[in-house]
Amino acid sequence: MASSSSSQWLTASLAFILTLLLLLRESQAQLSSTFYDSTCPNVSSIVLDQVQQAQKSDTRILASLTRLFFHDCFVNGCDGSILLDNSSTIVTEKDAAPNNNSARGFDVVDNIKAAVENSCSGIVSCADILALAAEVSVNLSGGPKWSVLLGRRDGTTANITAANNLPGPRDNLTTLQQKFNDVGLNDTDLVALSGGHTFGRAQCRTFINRLYNFSDNSTADPSLNSTYLATLQNNCPQGGNGSVLNNLDLTTPDTFDNNYFTNLQTNEGLLQSDQELYNTGASTASIVDQFAANQTVFFESFIASMINMGNISPLTGSAGEIRSDCKKVNGASEQYTIRMAVKDLSSAEA
């Protein structure tokens, strides 16, 4: 009888401990808009100040910083991995095809990090800086403002293979839907986040296939508005400079609004991946129509989708680290020195 009671007590105790552990795990994984309220209360204003300073000399920077957050979260979750430079242990995501000579704003992130470290050292992650900078950038461009959920920690690895598989400018709708579904995002998220192309630029090389040799033939993409096609062919002649920049939104290129969606309705989406959302028979067309008709609805959906994207596999609790330099994992220089010393010693012994 006593043995049975002891066994029941042990079982109940184990169940209680497991419940506590699960609750602890959930609490650690919970991001919060008040995460830094007591440890770095000025972080949002610091990020705002630094982004505003950058904007004075670079009108493109607001779109570029928003894009960095997108490209970070779609690869191993929102862990700041896109910021890591090459090292003896890191193959940088910056060299992946979607990022190479394209992703930008890294110097601004470094400036933000330095300013934050001066105020509260070792507290705010680079991953959270990307999230805050994206929100500030959207708002400064005329878009919505929202409470950013915080508490992410920085990863210690990069994944160039996954970075090479980011949603791309030549992806069809099925491929886009699959890539979004793979990270837990749905069609509304796909359309809302694509609306981030309401500001910023794209290089000729990202859409030149639509102008001359679409689908491996000698004609242009039939979904392109003919007047818009002529404009783009003038900007991007065959055999020309593939790095020439073009406005993603031909009407209000530096303003965050819903004109991106009205452009799609008139077949004036710049990238194939843009126009795919509204091509004949597209399952996402009704969402485009909804956002084109009502900017408030778009803004509300964009906020929800940015939060959804920001929740992709964040490192929390004791996972990862808080990098002191966004470009490298903590202790990288010391680790390199030790490895070189060991290598030199091995060579001397040989």
- What are the binding residues? 72, 75, 77, 79, 81, 93, 167, 197-198, 249, 252, 257
Active site residue 71: yes
Hey, what are 306's tokens?
């940015």
Q: Which residue, 199, 126, 128, is CA-closest to 156?
A: 126
Q: Which residue, 146, 114, 167, 174, is CA-closest to 305?
A: 146
Catalytic: which of 35, 40, 71, 301?
71
- How far apart are the C-alpha atoms of 133 and 29, rounded to whole Å? 22
Number of other residues whose CB lies within 10 A of the CB of residue 339: 12
- How far apart are the C-alpha atoms of 253 and 246, rounded to whole Å? 9
Binding-site sequence positions for substrate:
167
Q: Which residues are catalytic?
A: 71
